[in-house]
Amino acid sequence: MDIGTYYQPSRKITAYDVPEGVDIRGRFDEEFAKILTKDALQFVADLQREFRNHIKYAMEYRKEAKKRYNEGALPGFDPTTRYIREGEWTCAPVPPAVADRKVEITGPVERKMIINALNSGAKVFMADFEDALSPSWENLMRGQVNLKDAVDGTISFHDKARSRVYKLNNQTAKLFVRPRGWHLPESHILIDGEPATGCLVDFGLYFFHNFATFRQAQGQGFGPFFYLPKMEHSRGRRRWRVLKGEASGPPF
Ligand SMILES: CC(=O)SCCNC(=O)CCNC(=O)[C@H](O)C(C)(C)COP(=O)(O)OP(=O)(O)OC[C@H]1O[C@@H](n2cnc3c(N)ncnc32)[C@H](O)[C@@H]1OP(=O)(O)O
Ligand SMILES: O=CC(=O)O
């Protein structure tokens, strides 16, 4: 008798369920699969398809500018934005939720540090996918899991060596997330055969999974908040403005 005929273990899913045109090269993990859902990946792929030509153009422009500076040219202001520099204008008011940012703490999206930073007494915690974090697949995907748990308020960490459990205090710092800069590719996620843009992966996955929680818990004007790094031209800032507007409806 072949025991295999009778014994049918439940089928274990070992690959991500991806939308058309998306390929994941990173290790499969059941926790990561809760972040890398088909809908979330579709959202990231839509952002990538919408913005990839702008990003390529901006990166080529940076290379050209660097070449000119290396040859002795000096950086200057973009003549097309002269009317802004010379115009009369005031900034929109800072949203009340983040009006007081006198003390901020920053650090990588590592589980214990997220809890410690949110509990630290600082007004803001900037959770960093950029240069506080080595952008390995494990760090990036665990970081997304950790942030989702933090936004849900369920994050905890058991330090077995010290027999200490970490949980969020009632009062926590406001959470800002810093996605990677425009220049860093994410080679574990291919979209239409090309590496995804790192910041679109960091922003897209975090935004997709947490936007509704922010809105339900805190209403309009309360996040999610982002710290956008390493822009070298107003074009990069405009890109983010359009991108966030498209992702959430009205720009915030
Ligand atoms: C834009 C920017 O500023 S990018 C730079 C942002 N800052 C960082 O990335 C620093 C992050 N921290 C670290 O890399 C390390 O903690 C170091 C190198 C500073 C010190 O390392 P170690 O001496 O091994 O200390 P360790 O990592 O255990 O930290 C000591 C405690 O401080 C906490 N801690 C350290 N840095 C941070 C931080 N940035 N945010 C929150 N908690 C922190 C740790 O969680 C740990 O807590 P515990 O006492 O509950 O265990
Ligand atoms: O990367 C450092 C910063 O201050 O930005």
Whether the predicted pLDDT of 7 surpasses 70: no
Number of domains in the chain: 1
Question: Mean pLDDT throughout 137-155?
Answer: 97
Instruction: Give residue 172's pLDDT band: very low, low, confident or very high (50, 70, 90).
Output: very high
Classify residue 200: in a domain, yes or no: yes
Q: Which residues are bridge partners to 125 per DSSP?
A: 105, 175
CATH number of the domain that residue 208 is part of: 3.20.20.360
The number of beta carbons lying within 10 Å of the beta carbon of residue 125 is: 25
Ligand 1 surroundings by CB, under 6 angstroms: 105-108, 112-113, 116-117, 128, 131-132
Whole-prediction pTM value? 0.90
ipTM of the complex: 0.96
In the reported structure, the alpha carbon of residue 201 is separated from the centroid of ligand 1 by a whole-number distance in angstroms of 25
What integer pLDDT is reported at residue 11 of this predicted model? 64
Residue 228 lies in a domain: yes
Ligand 2 atom at shortest distance from the alpha carbon of 230: 5
Is residue 94 domain-resident? no
Residue nearest to atom 1 of ligand 2 (CA): 131
Pocket test for ligand 1, best of 105, 106, 112, 116 (most atoms within 8 A of CB): 116
Distance CA 206, CA 82 (A): 35
Compute, in angstroms, the gap from residue 243 CA to the centroid of ligand 1: 32
12 located within any domain = no
Q: Whose CA is nearest to atom 2 of ligand 2?
A: 131
Tell me the residue range of the domain where 231 lies: 27-77+103-247
In a domain, residue 233? The reply is yes
pLDDT at 250 over 50: no
Given this model, what pLDDT does residue 78 score? 87
Domain assignment of residue 21, yes or no: no
CA–CA dist 127, 117 (Å, integer) = 9
Q: Is the dihedral of CA 171, 228, 110, 155 positive or negative?
A: positive
Q: Which whole number is the average pLDDT over 111-129? A: 98
Task: Indicate whether 211 belongs to any domain.
Answer: yes
Nearest ligand to the C-alpha atom of residue 110:
1
- 143 falls within a domain: yes
pLDDT digits (tens, 9 = 90+) for 177-206: 999 999 999 999 999 999 999 999 999 999
Handedness of CA 215, 202, 191, 62 (dihedral sign): positive
Residue 107 Cα to ligand 1 midpoint, Å, equals: 7
